[in-house]
A and B are shown apart, each in its own frame.
Chain A
């Protein structure tokens, strides 16, 4: 496996893990969660659930997420890209 394939594989794993975290904390069936789904309006994830999700991701990946940055994030896909970007910059 070359480097770019490894990165793609790692990113796919990350995506799966983030979706799993969303599903467990927000108590939503994983099948309902796709990149285009709206976090607040469609999944009904409120601010306290958001904090729990962020705290779990921060702890698991040893990163820092600024909640203010996440305020403009609307979809699951945008949130995953945001997290993946922080992890890849580590």
Chain B
């Protein structure tokens, strides 16, 4: 039997003006391409969980055309919300030809009944334990319609993703996951609801084996860590850094501002090859930040934002500063203050997104209750389009504000200032 594993094409933005800015600015284009020209490791894990006598064809729709007439015995699709519309089109097309389709990933996990309308088998939650059971059921001719992971899986049992299925020359950035779970419970984020609040990670030996597997294929790869927060467990991080340094990888990770106070840790990060660090600041408005976490953790960090950015960037690590606009405390004035904040703090890669009520999140539930959700296709859930009724401004104003912010913080003048700032930092560090 041959299984086709498909990663549907994603949409960067449906906004033409914004698309132009994304395309014209080299720094921004590089950053966006590190996501759009990469593939998540989910399908590669599924491939590793599949018995070796089953042939696997991996189809990354960002590069490949789908041949619907290929002799597949089964199709597997993994999709996030913005890919869901396309995932269903693909599934419908295969099913018209009599080929059965299984779907998993975050969107199917939170909306399994919707996914079932287009697919034969739906995976809810992590698939490490359910996929092997399903394959056996499928071969025996008695598969179930839903496969639900009844518990958070022990990550030490996760196999090394089948990186060998990827065409080597296509991918310069390799996404890797070492942990799942996040304690923060942000209203807009579905991660903790899907992966739980408890931080779980692979063993250091697993991670080392996985890094070596990547290194054997791409000795000069850049690793992007997909973990919500790679640096939660410092002793684990330090062991990881030692290996990353040994293999001479350059890498990107997500974290939070609590790492900024640890001067020695930041130096070790840089030394281990970290080039950029994603930090979710979300907002610089007190009223907006107060709505995000139940425990107001982000709000309590606000006073330290500038200092934290300076501390991280002074080590030669570029901050990818993530901000959300359209939170309920936001007004038009908030956006002007945000522009000044980004410029004054020389944030290397500002990432500004429109608040997006992803299904499965507390935000989605609240806005649905308040009757503020717009009925638009999932393909518009790109984080650059408005899918709900904002509180203090109109949807058009919000959309235009995103464009204006990007235009200002990525203007040639501002980027030159940022470049000069970083050149000064690198000269001071004097790595030679």
Contact = CB atoms under 8 A, between A and B. Distances in A.
B172 interface: yes
Contact of B26 (A32, A56, A71): A71
A35 interface: no
A44 B224 CA distance: 13
Interface stretch (B81-89, B335-343, B415-423): B415-423
B7 interface: no
Interface stretch (B110-118, B215-223, B233-241, B354-362): B215-223
Interface in A8-34: 21, 24-29, 32
B250 A26 contact: yes
**9 pairs of A and B residues whose beta carbons are closest in the complex:** A55-B426, A44-B172, A55-B423, A47-B27, A27-B248, A48-B318, A52-B426, A28-B220, A51-B422
A68 to B, nearest CB: 8
Contacts of A40: 30
Contacts of A24: 431
Interface string A28-66: 110010000000110110111101101110111000000
Contacts of A67: 416, 419
A46 to B, nearest CB: 5
Interface in B1-48: 26-27, 30, 34
Given A27-B250, A59-B430, 13 more contacts: A27-B220, A32-B220, A44-B172, A44-B173, A44-B220, A46-B30, A46-B34, A48-B276, A52-B431, A55-B423, A55-B425, A56-B427, A58-B423
Nearest to B173: A44
Nearest to B316: A52
A58 B427 contact: yes
B249 interface: yes
B contacts with A: majority SS: mixed
Contacts of A41: 172
Interface in B127-186: 172-173
B350 interface: no
B273 interface: yes
Interface of B: 26-27, 30, 34, 172-173, 219-222, 248-250, 273, 275-276, 316, 318, 348, 416, 419, 422-427, 430-432
Contacts of A56: 426-427, 431-432
A56 B424 CA distance: 10
B170 to A, nearest CB: 11
Contacts of B221: 44
Given A51-B426, A52-B316, A59-B430, A29 B219 contact: yes
A56 to B, nearest CB: 6
B26 to A, nearest CB: 6
Contacts of A51: 419, 422-423, 426
Contacts of A52: 316, 422, 426, 431
B83 to A, nearest CB: 25
Contacts of A26: 220, 250
Contact of A55 (B34, B172, B273, B427): B427
A67 B310 CA distance: 23
A44 B170 CA distance: 11
Contacts of A25: 431
Contacts of B425: 55
